[in-house]
């Protein structure tokens, strides 16, 4: 990025919570990559979801993404679609998602929380009110799938002005000509979606990832997290070896789905089952050689 | 603010019609959306594109479609003179093919080798499968399971034409979910695939592009009504789901301020119930499927199910240009219930020998409401956007007849 572009991109930013930057600094100091875990708020019900979130850091989650449920998750595969619908059926709303974050923050002041989802529920809630409530609840960053740089004025710029990181997705289709635009107002970290596709389906090869990371590093000093299609400890370790963090979502959400009864209610052991998988993946990530 | 001196200049370079429209899509799709926009802008400047499209519209689709004086309905209502723009006489039986032909010629220019589409009633799916057969491109059509059950003949037609019909089991299993699934397919197959969106909605440039391809309807009406009556019409009426047949009729006339325009949404069981598809009269602005527009949604911004007896109007959104034209008041948006549409459907069959689709039957409800009170020299042009063969099972069921 040119100095001028960097300066203009920095304009209108308020100090953020610093949690995301501190966490990536700590990971770097420890010489390892991080594990970013995704679960949908309120899946399969608000109480189970609350218990799960609170236990994620101890199981090895370095950063936490919380999905804001939406009826029409266009960029998500079947696993996350189903989790979103389960949460909505259990009565989840954006207001309740923010309450979940507040609750988490009461016990954990440092694990970064990133809300991920689609724009319409935020638009309905009201951008200014959402940003101020999210900030107060302890949200550190936002990933809003259907807001490309072309729509930065909707939420990205107001979020930066409110001191909340706006984390952008870069994809294999984001070419060198487009990357500067994608990076201009990205903060916190860059989330590289390793395949052209929806969540939880295909995986990228290590060779593809290596060259993608090299390409992205030429454009930015932001921490780099890689996701989409990571299901096993070995895959997570391979990603953590070359990037700053591995993002895992569908695998956890599928583990939730495996622990439901025929009415989509949590069976005993659901939380432990998911935490076991988090722990396995965290072990993989922590054992990876940088 | 500068004075509006044309209603036809939109959208701006970001795809906005006032505050509506835009490009609300995942990053994976953005480069592709921009590529479609560049390709379409280039095609518009290229006379060979226009010539190729004109050739197929004339010789394959059968354009121009007639503008027909509906004499018996005119006498029946006893007021305004009613004309039908006979889009139901197009090949495949609806206006949908105008747009499909435009988009597939563009897809070929772009070197795309695979076509995907979403469909509700199946008319857009059939039109897409048809042009794919014609141009020898593999075609995948996403269709909600609910719609597959109520539109079996169109599913069979698509398969006969060589298309793969993929049942969509997510969400409410109707048109909106079919569109989600088509977008998911597109994200996963960006290099090879062109997405032929069926209505004047979605991310920029689709709303403008679909409108342009459908504007052949209004352009022909202008010539035909001048020939028949020596002057322009006084009122235009069309039904609205996403709004492509309506914008195609209305757009060429938007700057003729003396022409009144009525867009008719589906009121289902009634606007006072939760079973309707009237996004403008019963929804509020939000963001879905790549654009900001009026949507049926709950207090949390979750998208609600639309309902209409007509599968083609059963969508919880509307094209962004209509949302803008609604807000600035250029077009009057009204609605018609399932029951009213059923009555208009039967009336048209008996009086004109035309079995209309349930979609334009909604437009005919509005014509019926206004024609009797208007003077005999008032000219109404209604878009007969599709034929009703596909709907006879639904109608028979509603009338208690077993086929």
Q: What tens digit of pLDDT does each residue of B222-268 get?
A: 999 999 999 999 999 999 999 999 999 999 999 999 999 999 999 99
Please determine, for residue B309, whether its predicted confidence score (pLDDT) is greater than 90: yes
Nearest CA distance, A167 vs chain B (angstrom): 12
User: With contact defined as beta carbons under 8 Å apart, do B27 and A193 qualify?
Assistant: yes
Is the pLDDT at A229 greater than 60? The verdict is yes
pLDDT value of residue A56: 98
Cβ pair A198:B188 closer than 8 A: yes
pLDDT number for residue A10 = 57
What is the rounded distance in angstroms from the CA atom of residue A246 to the CA atom of residue A283?
12
Question: What would the mean pLDDT of A53-76 be, rounded to a whole number?
Answer: 97
How far is B314 from B292, CA to CA, in rounded Å? Answer: 18
**Counts for chain A of helices (H) and strands (E), in that order:** 13, 9
Q: d(Cα B254, Cα B24) in Å, to the nearest integer? A: 27
Mean pLDDT, residues A239-268 taken together: 96
Q: What is the pLDDT of residue B146?
A: 86
B184 touches chain A (CB under 8 A): yes
Q: What is the pLDDT of residue A214?
A: 95
Q: What pLDDT, in 10s, does the model give residues B201-233?
A: 999 999 999 999 999 999 999 999 999 999 999
**Per-residue confidence band for B4, with pLDDT thresholds at 50, 70 and 90:** low
List % helix, strand, coil for chain B (3-state, nearest 5). 45, 20, 35
Of B249, B260, B259, B240, give the one whose Cα is nearest residue B322. Answer: B240
pLDDT number for residue A272: 98
pLDDT at residue A90 above 60?
yes
Q: Is the pLDDT of residue A202 over 50?
A: yes
- Given this model, what pLDDT does residue A3 score? 43
CA distance B240 to B322: 9
Tell whether the model's pLDDT for residue A198 goes beyond 90. Answer: no
Q: For residue A203, what pLDDT is reported?
A: 77
| Residues of B known to be catalytic | 96, 118, 385
Q: Average the pLDDT over A120-143 and give the result.
A: 98
Is A47 a residue whose pLDDT tops 70? yes
The two three-digit tokens of residue A164, written as one number: 């909340």
Does B56 score more than 80 pLDDT? yes
Q: Measured in Å, how far apart are chain B's first and last C-alpha atoms?
A: 59
Helix (H, G, I), strand (E, B) or coil at A81: helix
Please state which of the ranges A126-130, A224-228, A274-278, B66-70 shows the lowest mean pLDDT: A224-228
pLDDT tops 60 at residue A213: yes
What torsion do the CA atoms of A232, A234, A240, A241 make, to the nearest 10 degrees?
-170
Give the confidence band of A6 by pLDDT, cuts at 50, 70, 90.
very low
Q: Is B27 on the interface with A (CB under 8 A)?
A: yes
pLDDT of residue A238: 93
Q: Do A151 and B290 touch (CB under 8 A)?
A: no
Torsion sign over Cα A86, A91, A96, A100: negative
Q: Do A183 and A175 meet the contact criterion of CB atoms below 8 Å apart?
A: no
* B contacts of A78 (beta carbons < 8 Å): 170
Share the mean pLDDT of chain B. Answer: 96
**How distant is the Cα of B293 from the closest Cα of chain A, in angstroms?**
11
**Cα separation, A239 vs A171, whole angstroms:** 15
The verdict on whether A76 is a catalytic residue reads: yes
Calculate mean pLDDT across residues B105-126: 95
**pLDDT tens per residue, range B323-365:** 999 999 999 999 999 999 999 999 999 999 999 999 999 999 9
> In terms of Cα–Cα distance, which of B53, B141, B152, B67 is closest to B97?
B53
Q: What is the mean predicted confidence (pLDDT) over A258-284? A: 97
Please give the DSSP secondary-structure letter assigned to residue B219: H
Phi-psi region of B258 (alpha: psi -120 to 50; beta: other; left: phi over 0): alpha
Under 8 Å between Cβ of B93 and B61:
no
B14 to chain A: which residues are within 8 Å by CB?
150
Q: Are strands B20-24 and B290-295 parallel, antiparallel or unpaired?
A: antiparallel
Q: How confident is the model at residue B403 (pLDDT cuts 50, 70, 90)?
A: confident
Pair B190, B28: CB distance under 8 Å? yes
Q: Which of A25-29, B16-20, B313-317 has the lowest mean pLDDT?
A: B313-317
Question: Residue A5: pLDDT band by 50, 70, 90 thresholds?
Answer: very low
Candidates A118, A150, A151, A216: best to mutate against B (most CBs of B within 10 A) is: A150
Query: What ipTM was assigned to the predicted interfaces of this complex?
Result: 0.94
Identify the band that residue B69 occupies on the pLDDT scale cut at 50, 70 and 90. very high
Is A174 close to B31, i.e. CB distance below 8 A?
A: yes
pTM over cut 0.90: yes
Cβ–Cβ < 8 Å for A167, A186: yes
What pLDDT is recorded for position B149?
Answer: 85
Q: How far apart are CA A48 and CA A32, in angstroms?
A: 30
B192 CA: distance to closest CA in chain A (Å): 12
Q: How many CB pairs under 8 A join A and B?
A: 119
State yes or no: pLDDT of A250 exceeds 90: yes
Strand partners, A192: A170, A226
Q: Do B300 and A72 touch (CB under 8 A)?
A: no
Q: How many Å apart are CA A66 and CA A37, to the nearest integer?
A: 8
Would you say residue A1 has pLDDT above 80? Answer: no
pLDDT at B170: 86
pLDDT at B85 over 50: yes
Handedness of CA B222, B199, A154, B284 (dihedral sign): positive
Burial label for A17, CB within 10 Å (0-12, 13-18, 19+), is buried
Q: Is the pLDDT of residue A140 over 90?
A: yes
What per-residue confidence (pLDDT) applies to A8? 46
For the beta carbon of residue B123, count every other beta carbon within 10 angstroms. 27
DSSP H/E element including B249 = helix B244-250
Q: How high is the pLDDT of residue B278? A: 97
Q: Work out the mean pLDDT of chain A and round it to a whole number.
A: 93
Q: pLDDT-based confidence at A204, cuts 50/70/90?
A: confident
By C-alpha distance, the chain B residue nearest A77 is: B184
Angle (CA) B336 B340 B344, round 5°: 110
pLDDT band at B84, cuts 50/70/90?
A: very high
In terms of pLDDT, which residue wins out, A73 or A4? A73
Judge whether A142 and A155 are in contact, CB under 8 Å: yes
Q: What percent of chain B has pLDDT over 90?
A: 91
- pLDDT, mean of residues A251-267: 96
pLDDT-based confidence at residue A2 (cuts at 50, 70, 90): very low
Phi, psi torsion values for A275, nearest 5 degrees: -65, -35
List chain B residues with CB under 8 Å of A120: 286-288, 295, 297, 301, 303
pLDDT of residue B1: 44
The Cα B95–Cα B75 span in angstroms is 27
CA A195/CA B161 separation, integer angstroms: 32
3-state secondary structure of B68: strand
Asked whether residue B96 carries a pLDDT value surpassing 80, the answer given is yes
* Mean pLDDT value across residues B151-179: 92
User: What is the rounded distance in angstroms from the CA atom of residue B131 to the CA atom of residue B298?
Assistant: 38
pLDDT for res B181: 95
| Sheet strands (E) in chain A | 34-40, 63-67, 113-117, 141-144, 165-166, 169-170, 190-193, 224-227, 245-248
Out of B28, B187, B301, whose CB is closest to A125? B301
**B13 and chain A in contact, CB less than 8 A:** no
């Amino acid at each position: 990025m040119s100095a001028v572009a960097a300066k203009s991109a920095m304009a209108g930013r308020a100090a953020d919570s610093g949690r995301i930057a501190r966490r990536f600094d700590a990971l770097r100091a420890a010489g390892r990559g991080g594990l970013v875990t995704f679960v949908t708020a309120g899946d399969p019900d608000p109480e189970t979801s609350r218990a799960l979130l609170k236990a994620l850091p101890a199981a090895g989650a370095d950063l936490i993404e919380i999905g804001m449920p939406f009826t029409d998750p266009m960029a998500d595969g079947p696993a996350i679609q189903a989790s979103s619908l389960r949460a909505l059926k259990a009565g989840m709303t954006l207001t309740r998602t923010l309450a979940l974050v507040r609750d988490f923050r009461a016990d954990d002041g440092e694990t970064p929380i990133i809300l991920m989802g689609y724009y319409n529920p935020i638009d309905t809630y009201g951008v200014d009110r959402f940003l101020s409530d999210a900030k107060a609840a302890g949200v550190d960053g936002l990933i809003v799938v259907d807001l490309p740089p072309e729509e930065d004025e909707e939420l990205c710029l107001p979020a930066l002005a409110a001191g909340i990181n706006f984390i952008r997705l870069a994809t294999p289709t984001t070419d060198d000509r487009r990357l500067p635009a994608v990076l201009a107002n990205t903060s916190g970290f860059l989330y590289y979606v390793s395949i052209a596709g929806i969540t939880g389906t295909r995986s990228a090869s290590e060779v593809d990832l290596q060259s993608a990371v090299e390409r992205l590093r030429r454009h930015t000093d932001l921490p780099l997290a890689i996701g989409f299609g990571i299901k096993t400890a070995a895959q997570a370790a391979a990603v953590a070896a070359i990037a700053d963090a591995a993002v895992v979502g569908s695998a956890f959400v599928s583990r939730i789905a495996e622990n439901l009864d025929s009415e989509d209610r949590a069976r005993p052991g659901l939380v432990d089952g998911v935490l076991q998988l988090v722990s396995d993946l965290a072990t993989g990530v922590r054992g990876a050689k940088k | 603010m500068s004075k509006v001196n044309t209603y036809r200049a939109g959208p701006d370079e970001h795809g906005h019609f006032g505050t509506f429209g835009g490009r609300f899509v995942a990053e994976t799709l953005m480069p592709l959306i921009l590529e479609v926009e560049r390709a379409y802008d280039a095609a518009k400047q290229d006379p060979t594109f226009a010539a190729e499209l004109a050739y197929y519209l004339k010789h394959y689709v059968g354009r121009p479609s007639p503008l027909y004086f509906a004499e018996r309905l005119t006498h029946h209502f006893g007021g305004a003179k009613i004309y039908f723009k006979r889009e139901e006489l197009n090949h495949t039986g609806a206006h949908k093919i105008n747009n499909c032909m435009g988009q597939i010629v563009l897809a070929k220019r772009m070197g795309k080798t695979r076509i995907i589409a979403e469909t509700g009633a199946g008319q857009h799916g059939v039109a897409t499968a048809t042009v794919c057969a014609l141009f020898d491109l593999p075609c995948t059509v996403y269709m909600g399971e609910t719609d597959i059950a109520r539109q079996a003949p169109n599913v069979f037609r698509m398969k006969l034409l060589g298309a793969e019909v993929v049942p969509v089991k997510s969400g409410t299993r109707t048109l909106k979910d079919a569109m989600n699934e088509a977008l998911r397919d597109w994200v996963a197959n960006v290099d090879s695939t062109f997405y032929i969106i069926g209505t004047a909605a979605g991310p920029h440039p689709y709303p403008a592009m679909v409108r342009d391809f459908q504007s052949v309807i209004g352009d022909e009406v202008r010539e035909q009504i001048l020939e028949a009556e020596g002057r322009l019409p006084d009122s235009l009426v069309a039904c609205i789901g996403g709004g492509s047949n309506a914008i195609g009729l209305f757009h060429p006339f938007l700057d003729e301020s003396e022409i009144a325009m009525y867009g008719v949404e589906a009121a289902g069981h009634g606007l006072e119930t939760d079973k309707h598809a009237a996004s403008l009269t019963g929804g509020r602005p939000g963001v879905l499927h790549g654009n900001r527009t009026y949507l049926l949604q709950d207090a949390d911004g979750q998208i609600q199910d639309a309902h209409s007896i007509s599968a083609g109007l059963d969508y919880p959104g509307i094209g962004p240009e209509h949302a803008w034209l609604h807000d600035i008041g250029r077009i009057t948006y009204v609605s018609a219930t399932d029951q009213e549409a059923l009555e208009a459907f039967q009336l048209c069959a008996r009086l004109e020998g035309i079995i209309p689709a349930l979609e334009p039957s909604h437009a005919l409800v509005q014509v019926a409401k206004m024609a009797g009170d208007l003077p005999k020299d008032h000219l109404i042009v209604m878009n007969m956007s599709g034929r009703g063969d596909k709907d006879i099972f639904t109608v028979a069921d509603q009338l208690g007849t077993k086929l």
